[in-house]
Chain A
Amino acid sequence: MKIATRAAYGEALVALAQKYPQLVVFDADLAGATMTKGFAAAYPDRFFDMGIAECNMTGVAAGLSTCGFIPFTNTFAMFAAGRAWEQVRNSIAYPRLNVKVVGSHGGLSVGEDGATHQCIEDFALMRAIPGMLVLCPCDGHEMHLAVEALLNYDGPAYMRLGRAAVETVTDAVEGYKFELGKGAVLADGKDAAIIATGIMVQLALKAREILAAEGIGVRVIDMHTIKPLDTALVRKAAEETGCIVTTEEHNVIGGLGGAVSEYLSEAYPVPVVRHGANDEFGRSGTAGAVLEAYGLTADGICEKVRHALTLKK
């Protein structure tokens, strides 16, 4: 089954609205794209369209949260994490308010809209804020669980959603359980570990199949929570496989690759090869064509794994 995480998110909001009466939803004139329109139609008195004014939306949500509500703010990742960064930092994170900042259309798979809307810096921006939870679920199944987990988490959080439809994979994994701050091992292997987030998780599973045919056994970890990083799981992978590849639809600077590298360099140094946007802006094209052009493919991940294996001592 294929569904975009933004679509699953929109469904989750509606599905959880009755159970969580404190849930309120904000949008900034993108309700059709961020998929909050379903919630808006079902719960019009709990939905606020703040117009094209993301900074104010962020601040209003902060104020509303002090009255006991759990606001989810919605716009594109570029504006949620970029334009309103300082509002997220000073009005939400610093006073530790219970607001969930949701950035849809993260990464290069935004496609045709091009570089101005392809946010490849949101993990870095949000991760740098003290106390901020940073999430990027990989599929519709995981997204539903993530939304409910966020409703039960009292504190500031950022969650990225994707535009493109992606295969649901986590529902078929035996023993899969969603917990904030805990990565999930989707498939095991002893030669290398791929730590992936968002839409790169499905591609990592494909890369594993390709490499299996070459006799290389790869562990695939779905790291839906980028901060706080599941350091125990990362360390275990480093100890047991000896080399790591991180993959994300984000700049290789400051995101998942940065987080894993920072941790392992201090705790258990092994080769870490980062896969992502190679410190360059995106460009227009269909989602598939842009990902291909930037090497964000299963083959691209395989190359990084082969390279990581050569670095292994």
Chain B
Amino acid sequence: MEKLYGSQLAITATRARLLALGAVHTAASGHIGGSLSAIDMITALYFNVMNIDPAKPDDENRDRFVLSKGHCSPALYAVLALRGYFPQEDLKLFRSIKGHMSGHAEMRHVAGVDMSTGSLGQGISAAVGMALGGKLQKKDFRVYAVLGDGELAEGQVWEAAMSAAKYNLDNLCAVVDVNGLQIDGATKDVMPTEPLDQKFAAFNWNVITAEGHDPCALVKAFEEAKAYKGKPSVILAKTVKGKGVSFMENNYGWHGKAPNDEQFEQAKGELEAKLAELEGK
């Protein structure tokens, strides 16, 4: 597949938003707010940045992706379906006992998922392990991990950050989905994690900041991270929780709630209008 850029990425991310929203609505359960904030970065990774082939999901030379904020599986599953890892129909089984599309990212049953995650703070350690594996095997694959800014309150994240710096894992790129909100409210009120740039710099990481919903800025940030040698990189991506659905944006109440039928129709309408606009229809 040819890499996608700019507006093509924006169109794909909007389609992924519709799929993620549909999955959560069908399941009547799931984490839509953070999925909508992380979906542009995940789309950029799978449609531009990462060296992957959906026909060979276990290729040992592939780039790896770890969704450390594993509750945002709707975003990952939607992007994987669009990328061709499995049929979009499967998304109807999200969180259903009839299938294995687990509520949190699940590697044993969902093609394309590189690590089972869900318990916060653990995915980044696994990503460090994969990057260490690449170094040991002298392979040039890269490892990407997406974390939430609320997740950074987990001490394990900083243990992982220390170890990535110790082993000079410049094949590792973490992205923090800085949407500023978590279940109980604003991250700055629940447990302030800022200043993130200074914290990661102090842990010996290369720090990059990017607008988290701008595909061009995200691709540029990933290229910058890839070019940086000697240290792991982190992209602090400024995002909006619930991005793309007016009544969900910047509202922490939508962290882990499914829309009812009426809300779903409104959200779907907004996203479809956005899609038509991007496609120039």
Contacts and interface: CB of A to CB of B under 8 A. Distances in A.
Contacts, number: 106
Contacts of B134: 67
A56 to B, nearest CB: 3
A94 B126 CA distance: 14
A91 B60 contact: no
Contacts of B156: 53, 55-56, 59, 87
B159 interface: yes
Chain B interface SS verdict (over half) = helix
A64 B133 contact: yes
B185 interface: no
Contact of B163 (A60, A67, A94): A60
Contacts of B155: 55
Contacts of B131: 63
A278 interface: no
Interface string B39-71: 000000000000000000000100010100000
Contacts of A60: 125-126, 128-129, 132, 160, 163
A265 interface: no
Interface in A61-84: 61-69, 71
Nearest to A86: B119
Contact of A87 (B118, B122, B166, B167): B122
A87 B126 CA distance: 10
B130 A56 contact: no
Given A59-B156, A66-B114, A95-B108, A51 B162 contact: yes
Interface residues of B, number: 34
Contact of B130 (A24, A50, A66, A87): A66
A22 to B, nearest CB: 10
A63 B119 contact: no
A233 B131 CA distance: 44
A66 B127 CA distance: 10
Contacts of A53: 156, 159, 162-163
A66 to B, nearest CB: 6
A96 interface: yes
Interface string B17-53: 0000000000000000000000000000000000000
B73 interface: no
Interface residues of A, number: 29
Nearest to B128: A60
Interface string B193-205: 0000000000000
A59 B149 CA distance: 20
A23 to B, nearest CB: 12
Contact of B125 (A62, A65, A68, A86): A62
A61 to B, nearest CB: 6
B60 A68 contact: yes
A95 B122 contact: no
Nearest to B124: A59
Contacts of A55: 121-122, 125, 155-156, 159
A91 B116 CA distance: 7
25 contacts: A24-B136, A50-B163, A53-B163, A55-B125, A56-B156, A56-B160, A58-B125, A59-B122, A59-B123, A59-B128, A59-B129, A60-B160, A63-B127, A64-B133, A66-B129, A66-B133, A67-B60, A69-B136, A86-B119, A87-B122, A91-B122, A95-B107, A95-B108, A95-B116, A96-B108
Interface of B: 60, 64, 66, 107-108, 114-116, 118-119, 121-134, 136-137, 155-156, 159-160, 162-163, 166-167
Interface of A: 24, 45-46, 48, 50-51, 53, 55-56, 58-69, 71, 86-87, 90-91, 94-96
Give the 4 A-B residue pairs with the shortest CB-CB distance, closest first. Answer: A63-B129, A59-B125, A67-B133, A63-B126
Given A62-B115, A90-B122, 9 more contacts: A46-B136, A56-B162, A58-B125, A62-B126, A64-B129, A64-B132, A67-B130, A86-B119, A91-B119
